[in-house]
Structures are given as C-alpha cells and as structure tokens.
Structure 1
C-alpha cells in the first residue's frame, strides 16, 4: 500500500512540464477528438517543414547586413525530391559551388560557418540569424577566435560542411542546420562542430548542440555551449567523442593555453 502521508500528484501535472503526449485521456477505444486533431495538426506542420522552400537569398541579405562575408552554395541534390531520396547527394557540393568557394578562399582560417536548410528550412529562417547574433560576440570577446567565411548552403546534409571547410582551409567548421522535425518542434535547429573537416569524416568526429528553438535551448545557452566547444576543440585539436561538453562546469580557456599535465 502507498503511504497516505505522501501526497499524490495527478498525471495531468506532467502536461505542464513537457510537450510530450501524456495524459491524453480516452474516448472509448481511442483518444479524445481534441487530442487527435492536435496530433494531426502537429504532424502536418512537421511534414510541411520538411518540404518547405529554403529562401537562401533572403538569408544572405540578412547576414550581410550584420557585416559578414557570405557566399551561397548548393549540394548535388537538384531539388527537394532528389534531396530526400538521395541523402548522399546532400553531402557533396555541386561542381560550380566547389569552384566558386575555391576561388573565394582567402587562405587558412580558424572557423568556417555553414548554414544549411537540412530537413527544416523553417528552423534556419526562424533561428539562424538570432543564434549568430549571440554566438559571434562570444567567439570574439577573448580575441582568439576568428570566423573566416559564412556559407549558406541549399540542399545540405551535415557532412556537406566537411567539404566546404576543407576547401576554405578551416581548422574547424560549425554547421547550423535544420533538424528532422518532431511533432512538438518542426523548427528545431542543430549545430555540428567538426575539427579538421574533410570529406569522409564520421559523426563520431563531431560535437552536436541540438534542440535550439523557442521551447528548447535558448540562443544564449546554445551560443555559450557552441563557443565553449569551439575554443576547447581548437585548443585540444579534436572534436567528437574525444571532446566532452563540460561548458557547465567551467569557463572556456583561451586558445594557446597549455592543457594541465
């Protein structure tokens, strides 16, 4: 028997703590009409996010208004249907974009930032500029991290940043990309960091800061984590499984500071 002195919290309380579908109730053998309609609406929003058009030119204008050097590129996926059916094409630059980036490369740089539509262009439209406004000052405040070039990539998968970073001679690439839409977050943004980017890098060589959206990780929190991982990754010359996110434990170290023995 349960202890009568311990107050019971109704299951409905969980609904104030999570967007997950809990305590929906029941109507006969099914869920109530409102719960069914809410599910159908969220499913439609997620599906629409996957197929939404990516307005790369508008994003380029917004980024250049911040004084940033921005270049457009695209993958070998010729359209959205091609992108969804052939993930491999989204990991490779088309020949024209590769040539354009090679001509515009100004020599080795510490950081290249790639902004790709991924599986949710809505996430990029909603959050990419806002996140960068918080991130860039954090990278500059210690005076030790310089962003070389920003590339807006259409039809992009995460690994497209590896080829872009290699062409630009970046020590690290930070790829901001729309994540696979969920039923509670069709506009979630993810940031992937890869040291020494080159074609063929695996996911084990990356760090990821995900779930950046209105009801998830805030711009301020995400920017702090990303800046910490950038500084530590450059200092240790590694990302991925070898770099644990300890941003909540201590302040980031300046690049060039020796690691403790």
Structure 2
C-alpha cells in the first residue's frame, strides 16, 4: 500500500508475462482499451475452437513445403475421426479419439519407427501456423538420427488419442501427434506435441510425453524440435514414454 491507500502492482510485471496483470485503471475500473482487448481475445479463442481445418489443402501444403517427405517416399494421408461435424466433436470428445471406418480402412500395416499425425484439436489455427515450421526443423534431425517414418496422417476432428489407433494400425514403434491446444485468452494459436511409445487403443495421457505452447511468443520451433529429439532418442533407448520418462533424464544414458 502507498500512503494514499492505493495498491500498485510492480511496474515491470507485464514485461515478464503475457497474462493480464498490472492492468491500467481508469478510476476504480479497468481501462476501456483493456476491456476491448479482452473481448477481442475471447472472440479469437471462440473462433479458433470452432474453425475447421481444410485437411486436403493442408496435405497439399505439407507436400509442397516439405519436399523431404517425397524424397523419402513418405505419403501424406487425410483421415477423419468418428466425429462427423464440429458440434459432435466438441460435445462428445470420445468420438475424436477413433477413426471412422473409411479412414481406418486406408491404413495398412507399415512397420516403422515413427508415425506422425497432425490433427486440428481445439485450434486449427495453431496447426496451420506451427506444424509445418516445426516439421521443417524436426525431419532433417530425424533423418540424420536414422528414424524411419510411416505415412504422415492429417486428421479432421481429431483428439490426442486418435494417434493410438493410427500408430497401432500402422505397426509404428512410436507415435507423434501435433495438435491444436485449447485456446487461452493470451494465445489462440498454441500447438501441443504428444509422444507415445508403442501406441495402441487404450493408451492414456499417463503413457505420453507432451510439449506444450509451441508458437511464436511461446516455445519456438527450434527449441521444440530439439526437445522432441531428446525425448524420442531416450524413448527409443528405454522403450517407454509417459510418467516414467522425464525430459532430460536420459541424457547420461544416451551418452553411455
């Protein structure tokens, strides 16, 4: 408290976080500019949740912007979950964790080290902005480390668990899903990356490792790719992911 009884926040607090702290005031109310910015952020979050991912256009973009896929003979496939539309996807999360019959029939056994899935999740915007830049950094590192890949699958109305069904049908040793995270009021374009060893239907989040907040202004793609490769190498050595695999814990094991 000051002598006048007015509480003042630390003047440099806003430089440390994107959260709404140390807001300017007008009398006893928040300044109009801040109220309007909050309403804009709320609208952007709602738009991100309801926006649809054009999977065919995104698949073409992957082929065009990541020529390394074609060079390695990696297909890009578009799939759908059992959620037939966005409303059912949001109301019935379980439907987003499994593939519809037509999509499941497309996948054939193709044993590989890693199956990469890209899904809209709760923010198609996050995937559109961040998935390709991340893969542009990650794929060359994977090739250098000798990882074999199954087809890259792009899933409409997908939840994290859909990578289990995909990885199991392909016979992949490990799965990686890049998915739009639930938007917040500081960012509507945050992407998550989930790594699962021996994916199969019935896996839970306790069986996965996650990197969150991949975006400009959050975890940049270079750092995300480096951390993902560290997790992938350790997972391959220890043959596990999830709560038993702590990030960085395998460094001494890999060096040995």
1:99-124 CA distances to partner (integer Å, 9 max, x unpaired)? Answer: 0113xx4x311100000000000001
1:67-96 CA distances to partner (integer Å, 9 max, x unpaired)? Answer: 422111110000101100000100110000
TM-score (norm 1): 0.88
Higher deviation after alignment, 234-243 or 26-35: 26-35
CA contact (8 A) 1:111 1:147 kept: yes
CA contact (8 A) 2:234 2:251 kept: no
Higher deviation after alignment, 115-124 or 26-35: 26-35
Structure 2 match to 1:189:
191
Structure 1 match to 2:85:
79
For residues 173-212 of structure 1, the aligned pairs below 5 Å read 173-212=175-214
TM-score (norm 2): 0.90
Q: Any unmatched runs of 5+ in structure 1?
A: 1-8, 255-259
Separation in structure 2 between the aligned mates of residue 184 and residue 54 of structure 1, nearest angstrom: 22
Structure 2 match to 1:230:
232
Separation in structure 1 between the aligned mates of residue 147 and residue 36 of structure 2, nearest angstrom: 48
SS at match of 2:29: coil
1:122-148 CA distances to partner (integer Å, 9 max, x unpaired)? Answer: 001111111000011111223x21222
Which of structure 1's runs of 4+ aligned residues deviate more than 6 A? Answer: none
Structure 2 CA distance for partners of 1:30 and 1:137, relative to 1, 3 Å: same
For residues 107-122 of structure 1, the aligned pairs below 5 Å read 107-122=110-125
2:100 matches 1:94: yes
2:126 matches 1:123: yes
CA contact (8 A) 1:159 1:201 kept: yes
Cα drift, residue 251 of structure 1: 8.4
Separation in structure 1 between the aligned mates of residue 82 and residue 226 of structure 2, nearest angstrom: 33
Structure 2 match to 1:5:
none
Q: Any unmatched runs of 5+ in structure 2?
A: 1-7, 70-74
Structure 2 match to 1:6:
none
2:18 matches 1:19: yes
CA contact (8 A) 1:178 1:190 kept: yes
Separation in structure 1 between the aligned mates of residue 39 and residue 9 of structure 2, nearest angstrom: 26
Question: Over aligned residues, Cα RMSD in angstroms?
Answer: 1.8
